[in-house]
Structure 1
Amino acid sequence: MASLLQSLLDPKKNWLAAQHMKTISKRLRNFGLRYDDLYDPYYDLDIKEALNRLPREIVDARNQRLKRAMDLSMKHEYLPEDLQAMQTPFRSYLQDMLALVSILEIYIYIYMYIDFIVHPSLRLCILVM
């Protein structure tokens, strides 16, 4: 089942997925954005934590891209064609850190569960709350 889903979403194997990716790429290039810029740190705390762990230069570049996109959108304009050609909308800067944050979160939950089992006195504290 998973391989079927992967083949449906793979742009190399599915024509519709390729067309969707092409459309998204064009829209992101119009405003000079990357796909990872679309993630909202207020919606997902993992995104917020991943952004906090990234180097300051990368976060500043992200904020500049978002400000430029909002400015262009308010003016009902697009980036000039020469700048659109230089854009890399699917170059990821957030996915690796997001995976790391997810793994760390799993480790924290496992540690808390083990700590809960090892220390039975915590059961009483949790039941009282």
Structure 2
Amino acid sequence: MASLLQAFLDPRKNWLAKQHMKSVSSRLRRYGLRYDDLYDPYYDLDIKEALKRLPREVVDARNQRLKRAMDLSLKHEYLSDDLQVYYLLIY
């Protein structure tokens, strides 16, 4: 049953899951975030371990994106379109 649910939620196997991922990614891009930034290291120990193994620069960039997104959200603002494209290209 769990494997069926995982297959249903996997964007590589399910067209609806892929469309949902694209929709969420486009909304996150307004804040300069990536879809992978949504994973919470406190909720999943695998994510916590993966973040430990990443280079320090990658983890710092992720933390900076999260801080910027919180700041923009509190101000009820979005990144400008040119910055959204810029951050999309460098990440």
TM bracket (short chain):
0.7 to 0.9
Match of 1:87 in 2: 87
The size of the alignment, in residue pairs, is 85
What percentage of aligned pairs have identical amino acids?
A: 69
Q: Deviations over 1:8-55 (max 9, x none)?
A: 8448x83x4453233112111111111111111111111111111111
Change (3 A) 1:76 1:58: same
**CA distance in structure 2 between the partners assigned to 1:55 and 1:37 by the alignment:** 15
Greater Rg over alpha carbons, structure = 1
Match of 2:47 in 1: 47
Matched residue of 1:62: which SS?
Answer: helix
Spell out structure 1 runs of 4+ moving beyond 6 A. Answer: none
Change (3 A) 1:75 1:53: same
Structure 2: unaligned runs, 5 residues or longer: none
Query: What TM-score comes out, normalization by structure 2 length?
Result: 0.75
Matched, 1:31 2:17: no
Change (3 A) 1:54 1:84: same
Q: Which amino acid aligns with 1:54?
A: L
Match of 1:77 in 2: 77
Q: Which amino acid aligns with 1:49?
A: E
C-alpha contact (below 8 Å) 2:11/2:21 kept by paired residues: no
Q: Deviations over 1:55-114 (max 9, x none)?
A: 10000000000000000011011111111123339x6xxxxxxxxxxxxxxxxxxxxxxx
C-alpha contact (below 8 Å) 2:29/2:84 kept by paired residues: yes
Query: What TM-score comes out, normalization by structure 1 length?
Result: 0.55
Change (3 A) 1:23 1:58: same
Q: Which amino acid aligns with 2:22?
A: K
